[in-house]
Amino acid sequence: MRPALLSLLILVGCAPWNQPQNQPLQRENAPLTEGGAGEGELYIGLAFSGGGMRATAFAYGMLEELRAAGEGPAGLLDQVRLVSGVSGGSVMAAQFGLRGPEGLAGFRERFLLTDAERYMVTSGANPLTIVKGVAGGVNGRETFGRYLDEALFQGATFAELRTSGIKTWINATDMANNTPFLFSPETFDALCSDLSKVRISEAVAASAAYPLVFTPIVLEAHQGDCDYQEPDWLTAARYNPEATAAMRAHARALESYTNPKEVKFVKLLDGGITDNFGTTGLAVERARAEVPYAPLTAAEAVKLKRMLFLVANAGVEQDYDWTQKVAGPGGVNLAMSIASSAMSAASRSGYDSMRGELRLWEMELIEWRCALPLEEVRRLRGTAEGWDCKDVKLFVGEASFASLPADLREEVNKVPTRLKLDAAQVDAVIAAGRMAVRLTPEFNGFVASLAGNDVESRIEASGKRRVVPLGN
């Protein structure tokens, strides 16, 4: 054997494979269930895209703008009931889902201004880096995941996340099934695995495992270790010709987890490959729902008046450098370009699909509310006073770099997709997140609907919006 080939095989053997750590679901333990979304007249859902530390800072800026857009210390943050995140956006989603508005205190200094690449191999000039990347990934679990635990989560698990009252979806990609992978009780039930014991940092590391840079996070399918019964919607999706292709694929993935001849280990990479906004959870909730008001409970659905679903798109504009010459891209750059192209396509289709799903949900919700007997309204709502079954307004918008002034847009488009940025870059992206929210028409419409008049009349000299919350 040639020395060069032998050396290559030795280096490939050094790839940092991630051994599965998820535990089987014990028969005596009840599966982890989703908590309620809270009861109130307002509901805000947020979906944070990928994009490394840039995406995390952008999401942080959006949350800070929501804080400024209401009364009290937390502003509108108290109305955030759902957060979904992918890759860099999953860091902010998990932090907010775990700790709520209090989790923003010191977040800039504690995470955004720190070196999240501290334990990572990042040099593309090192031949070992290239070989490991080609072999499956350069960095394993003990790099970014370890740093997340040190800086933010301190070993917190999904058992703690589910008690926060904020529904939180962390999204990765199942590479074998080519489908989004949602860290949810339903997914882990199919794996006969205990989601309650999974570390939040493990899920976020899987969501952010960009191809080549990271080795896939591995989960073990513990078939036979629980009395798993597939949900009715999965059976229906298998035989229903009207089920969407996305739902059939998701159902097929869950089915594969129960078959040891098909899946022993699930390999997870960056969620942005298949769903860069992390909206899969919403589609799953709606498609498998046996009631038209899901993902809300009946009590939540009769009390709801205004809903805002805001998507954060921290993606940068296209790079036309390669179009100025005949050569390239090639090698690692080509692989990275393919991954980026997949993520961009997933972003466009995901947002359009999510918007359509929410519009359909709004119509079905109103139809259900208006068919309720008054006695049932009193039972669920506590009173029928002021009841208007059609008084539900849904606002769906996207906050992105595209709406920013030219100078700021040019500045943030130069911020790289990395896990280490300098202070000027971080602050520019935070400012972009805040301004993007302010410039989103759907957000302004939502705020105006709360006050009952034109939002512009409620902007103070400081530039912060103050809104009058709806009465209880």
Euclidean distance between CA atoms 266 and 268, whole angstroms: 6
Side chain identity at residue 324, one-letter code: Q
Q: What is the pLDDT of residues 109-149, one digit of tens each?
A: 999 999 998 877 654 444 444 444 444 455 667 788 889 99
Q: Which of 214, 50, 206 is nearest to 120 (CA)?
A: 214
12 to 131, 171, 276: CA distances (angstroms): 7, 28, 30
Residue 229 or residue 340, greater confidence: 229
User: Taking a C-beta distance cutoff of 8 angstroms, is the pair 274, 291 a contact?
Assistant: no
**Residue 408: in which H helix or E strand, if any?**
helix 406-413
Torsion, Cα of 154, 159, 161, 163 (10° steps):
-130
pLDDT band at residue 324 under the 50/70/90 scheme: low
* Residues in Cβ contact with 230 at an 8 Å cutoff, skipping those fewer than 6 apart: 190, 254, 255, 258
Q: Which of 311, 270, 277, 229 is nearest to 62 (CA)?
A: 311
pLDDT greater than 70 at residue 465: no
Dihedral class, residue 240 (left if φ above 0, else alpha if ψ from -120 to 50, else beta) = beta
* pLDDT of res. 379: 94
Q: Could you tell me the two tokens for 62?
A: 């959006």
pLDDT greater than 70 at residue 5: no
Euclidean distance between CA atoms 44 and 443, whole angstroms: 10
- On the CB side of 362, how many CA atoms lie within 13 Å of its CA? 19
DSSP label at residue 82: E
Euclidean distance between CA atoms 451 and 35, whole angstroms: 30
Q: What is the mean pLDDT of the chain?
A: 82
User: Taking a C-beta distance cutoff of 8 angstroms, is the pair 187, 231 a contact?
Assistant: no
pLDDT band at residue 347 under the 50/70/90 scheme: low
Cβ-based neighbour number of residue 328 at 10 Å: 13
Tell me the range of 287-291, 304-308, 455-459 where mean pLDDT is highest: 304-308
Euclidean distance between CA atoms 297 and 306, whole angstroms: 16
pLDDT greater than 60 at residue 464: no
Q: What is the pLDDT of residues 292-312, one digit of tens each?
A: 888 788 998 999 999 999 999
> Stretch 311-331: mean pLDDT, rounded?
71
Give the rounded distance of the alpha carbon of 89 from its chain centre. 6
DSSP label at residue 303: H
* pLDDT of res. 10: 42
DSSP label at residue 318: P
Euclidean distance between CA atoms 80 and 103, whole angstroms: 13
